[in-house]
Amino acid sequence: MRKLLFLALSLMGVGNFALTAQAQAPFLPAAADTRCRQWVDSVLSRMSLRERVGQMLILTLPAKANAKQENTLRTAIRNYHIGGLLFRQGTAEEQAILTNMGQAETKVPLMITFDGEWGPAMRLKDMADFPMNASLGCIEGDSLIYEYGREVARELRELGVHVNFAPDADVNINPQNPVINKRSFGSDPVRVSAKVAAYGRGLEAGGMLSVSKHFPGHGDTDVDSHLALPVLPFSRARLDSIELYPFRRAVQAGLGGIMVGHLQVPALEPDGKTPSSLSHRIVTGLLKEELGFTGLIFTDAMEMKGVSSVPQATTRAIVAGNDMVLASDNLRRTTDELLQAVRSGTLSHAVVNERCRKILTYKYLLGLHRRPAPLHVSGMSYRMNTDKAQTLAATLRHEAVAVINNGIGEFPLTSYRNTPLAVLSLGEGQDSLFVAALRKETEVKQYLLAPADSTETMLHTLADQLSYYRHVVVTVSGRDVDAATYAARLSRLQLPVPAVYVFFVSYRGMQSLHASLQQAGAVILAHSGEPDLQQYAADILRGKTTARGRISMRF
């Protein structure tokens, strides 16, 4: 991607391009500058103003190949000449059908984008279930993250995708963040930066343009920008040390794309009201000029409440310095707005031409100067979700398992003097495979604490029963478990021995049990409850393997 950026800058007349990060091998076929320029000039010369404006727009569409979506896509291409597509939930086969249709309809090949922070499974059914970033952030070393990026790129290229809106570069230092949380690699900006660079390089080595987001940083917010405009009330020094740190490193690493979020940042935009995505000071002044980013810049979705109510928002986003916008569903209104802005002089012809030239340059470098061959729809899911992908997903899950607060110093746990090992199951009780694995080598007595079990009599009886055991293992499992409902009950149990807690849920399940965990003998964070993880956690307790991860989040 670094060579790609250098070539793009040369073609657009931008000099003095230098990066401090070590160069990586180019992932795109080498092309002479003159060939790229000739193609861009040739395409640009045949485009009307309406077509040039359309290149800056990305339409979001469900990956459902029905008559409604096909008509929407056909209209978007024929009437508004969109430059790209972003698919939402659906299936790989249906997305492939719509991609084939779109590429056949358009004069200038479409840039197909995808929002796959943790791979295709984030949006599509029947894909390899890769861990979310909060889990990946626990992995020590970054070579596996790089290989994960390459695999995600392989799967998406199979699907005809050119751009992945990943990695998430937000530093999640606010445990109560309602929208980023598990999407972030962690709460340490240095560690987050390393994971961002590794994942991004892997994507780009696999032929996929990576897009780091949400600039200038959405990690320490308590508002979801889908619903309102979050505020980052921090000093510039604080922003430099935390929020901006991973983006600065992404730029230095030569990663090719950045997405600007809808955030209010008074230290960067003194008017105190302009969203970052619409701020010339932030997009051009900070990202382009100060940080030196020269890659492709995308806005977050323009229909999000953090920006959707702002008049002339799309025009302001382009004027601010963004190259492509994730347009609202009303393409007619958006196109008319941009054309009127050109007529009024608010948006100059020069800016439109510059953005269009840059987009076309990236399309060339992504191979779109050749009309894409039709995707082979049949068996698409199987070609994406291979045995190799499943094996990699399992390896990532295992490497992310972390043991913390280990005060007992005695794995393996076993029965003691004919006394079974006690397992207290919280949540939805989806730990049966874990318990079965333990029972292969030791006697286990399981107890269940259901949400309704809160009377003093019930808790007193349970406490008496557990006092009989030398070792108590407390499991938390279930996709929708609310660990907070158990916090008070656990404190009232007053377990007689330091318990070992095993979380088959994300780190967020640990937050509500913070007081109880301070008294724990050990805590195993498995992140989720897949069968292989339940077996792996049991092996840790039985001393057959060790946990190699390191927790990445504050809790």
Angle subtended by helix axes 67-80 and 92-105, to nearest 10: 30
Is the Cβ–Cβ distance between 420 and 443 less than 8 Å?
Answer: yes
d(CA 469, CA 464) in angstroms, rounded, equals 10
Phi and psi for 524 in degrees, rounded to 5? -110, 120
d(CA 407, CA 120) in angstroms, rounded, equals 39
d(CA 170, CA 193) in angstroms, rounded, equals 9
Number of residues in the chain = 555
What stretch of H or E contains 466? helix 456-466
User: What is the three-class DSSP state of 45?
Assistant: helix
Q: Characterize the bridge pairing of strands 444-449 and 421-427.
A: parallel
d(CA 329, CA 341) in angstroms, rounded, equals 19
d(CA 212, CA 257) in angstroms, rounded, equals 6
d(CA 549, CA 304) in angstroms, rounded, equals 36
Q: Longest Cα pair distance anywhere in the chain, in angstroms? A: 87
Give the position of tokens 């670094």: 2
User: What is the three-class DSSP state of 258?
Assistant: strand
What token pair was written down for 468? Answer: 């009989």
Calculated CA dihedral for residues 384, 200, 55, 293, nearest 10 degrees: 180
User: What is the three-class DSSP state of 486?
Assistant: helix
User: What is the three-class DSSP state of 55?
Assistant: coil
Is the Cβ–Cβ distance between 38 and 62 less than 8 Å?
Answer: no
Written as one letter, the residue type at 318 is: I
Q: Characterize the bridge pairing of strands 57-63 and 209-215.
A: unpaired
515 vs 220, 456, 486, 505, 551, CA distance in Å? 23, 20, 11, 18, 18
Written as one letter, the residue type at 313 is: A
What token pair was written down for 474? Answer: 């407390």
Q: Is the peptide bond before 214 cis (omega within 30 degrees of 0)?
A: yes
CA-only gyration radius of the chain, Å: 26
Is the Cβ–Cβ distance between 244 and 287 less than 8 Å?
Answer: no
d(CA 16, CA 5) in angstroms, rounded, equals 12
Written as one letter, the residue type at 204 is: E
d(CA 520, CA 34) in angstroms, rounded, equals 66
Closest by alpha carbon to 258, among 320, 190, 188, 167?
A: 167
d(CA 461, CA 451) in angstroms, rounded, equals 16
Active site residues: 300
